A = this chain, B = another copy of it.
Amino acid sequence: MINKLIKKIKETGAPIVVGLDPMMKFVPLHIQKKAFDEYGETLEGAAEAIWQFNKEIVDSVYDIIPAVKPQIAMYEQFGIPGIAAFKKTVDYCKQKGLVVIADIKRGDIGSTSEAYAVGHLGKVQVGSKFYYGFDEDFATVNPYLGSDGIKPFIKVCQEENKGLFILVKTSNPSSGEFQDRLVTTKPGAREKGTENAAFGDKPLYEIVGEQVARWGEEHMGDAYSYIGAVVGATYPEMGRALRKIMPRNYILVPGYGAQGGKGQDLVHFFNEDGLGAIINSSRGIIAAYQQEQYASFGPEHFGEAARAAVEDMRQDIKQALENR
């Protein structure tokens, strides 16, 4: 699947993933109205509205992007009808040939992690039969619980030729609260008065990055591992350091656009081969019609606005990479 992702990135010239995070406020009123007229102002109505919204976005951009990243929280908030709209979106995107990165940020231990892995990336056994529950291509995973939590995901990925993006350094302002903590790497350093204990100190995200690099070796594609990392665009210097620590791991980079990241901040996330990173934009694309720059499209043409925003983003990244 990482090979397929890279192939599609090369074909489209767009190291871009469109975040399908359809908050209700992004959905134009004419779409909401149609759905509510049919289903009422119900969870089913909301689910129908976000599905119709997604479908038009996907129809407008599927041929110029390699991948989408639906954020399951935005569907889960509408209960079971919302999750059904998530599944419908995943299936439709795959039908359109897109790689689907499920932004689920799951993470647990042992048999519980295995259940998440099986449900989202693999097949579950029911009696003598096997079924795919959600069947996405990649999933984002939280590493806080350590290898016990990650290995069951890697096992399922190996069986299914699928992949992961593991949270290393997230794009949010408070991500440093725990992730940037300087970790003592010298043994015995806890004893009071140990001199120079700080010598080997590193931030936690680097420790996690080193572990991602090791996990990645367990499931390699051709040039890159099936096991990638999430590193926020909002921390370009940390991106540079992590790029070196994880040379063969693809980096999924959120935080472009709405969260403040710009094309020039992104160059350090790429390797010399022009690969190694895929940049996410969510509201910057799907709600482009609400921005001044694309307002002339109007809410009726939100799909065309999204397409224009993808093309501008591709250009911004291309230019930044050429100028580095």
Q: Which residues of A come within 8 Å of B, CB atoms?
A: 21, 23-24, 32, 36, 41-43, 45-46, 71, 73-74, 76-80, 82-84, 87, 105-113, 115-116, 118-120, 124-129, 131-134, 142-149, 167, 170-179, 181-184, 189-199, 201, 204, 207-208, 211
Give CA–CA (A192, B182) in the complex, Å.
13
Task: Write the nearest CB–CB distance from A110 to chain B, whole angstroms.
Answer: 6
Instruction: Evaluate contact between A115 and B77: CB separation under 8 angstroms.
Output: yes
Assuming the contacts A111-B23, A189-B198, asked whether A46 and B124 have C-beta atoms less than 8 A apart, the reply is yes
Instruction: Evaluate contact between B112 and A74: CB separation under 8 angstroms.
Output: yes
Assuming the contacts A23-B111, A144-B178, asked whether A43 and B131 have C-beta atoms less than 8 A apart, the reply is yes
Instruction: Evaluate contact between B172 and A125: CB separation under 8 angstroms.
Output: no
Give CA–CA (A271, B147) in the complex, Å.
32
The interface residues of chain B lying within 8 Å CB-to-CB of A128 are 41
**Which B residue's beta carbon lies closest to that of A144?**
B144
Instruction: Evaluate contact between B201 and A181: CB separation under 8 angstroms.
Output: no
Partner of A108, one of B36, B73, B208: B73
Instruction: Evaluate contact between A82 and B193: CB separation under 8 angstroms.
Output: no
Give CA–CA (A178, B84) in the complex, Å.
35
Instruction: Evaluate contact between A178 and B207: CB separation under 8 angstroms.
Output: yes
Instruction: Evaluate contact between B145 and A175: CB separation under 8 angstroms.
Output: yes
Instruction: Evaluate contact between B148 and A45: CB separation under 8 angstroms.
Output: no
Assuming the contacts A41-B128, A46-B124, A172-B148, asked whether A119 and B78 have C-beta atoms less than 8 A apart, the reply is yes
Instruction: Evaluate contact between A125 and B170: CB separation under 8 angstroms.
Output: no
Instruction: Evaluate contact between B76 and A133: CB separation under 8 angstroms.
Output: yes
The interface residues of chain B lying within 8 Å CB-to-CB of A84 are 80
**Which B residue's beta carbon lies closest to that of A39?**
B126
The interface residues of chain B lying within 8 Å CB-to-CB of A76 are 115-116, 119-120, 133
Give CA–CA (A43, B119) in the complex, Å.
11
The interface residues of chain B lying within 8 Å CB-to-CB of A178 are 143-144, 146, 204, 207-208
Give CA–CA (A176, B131) in the complex, Å.
35
Task: Write the nearest CB–CB distance from A284 to chain B, whole angstroms.
Answer: 14
Assuming the contacts A115-B74, A195-B196, asked whether A174 and B201 have C-beta atoms less than 8 A apart, the reply is no
Give CA–CA (A113, B103) in the complex, Å.
12
Instruction: List the 6 shortest-distance A-B pairs measured between CB atoms, nearest first.
Output: A197-B198, A79-B133, A146-B177, A146-B174, A41-B127, A77-B119
A-B contact pairs, 6 of them (CB 8 A): A45-B127, A109-B170, A181-B183, A190-B198, A193-B199, A197-B197
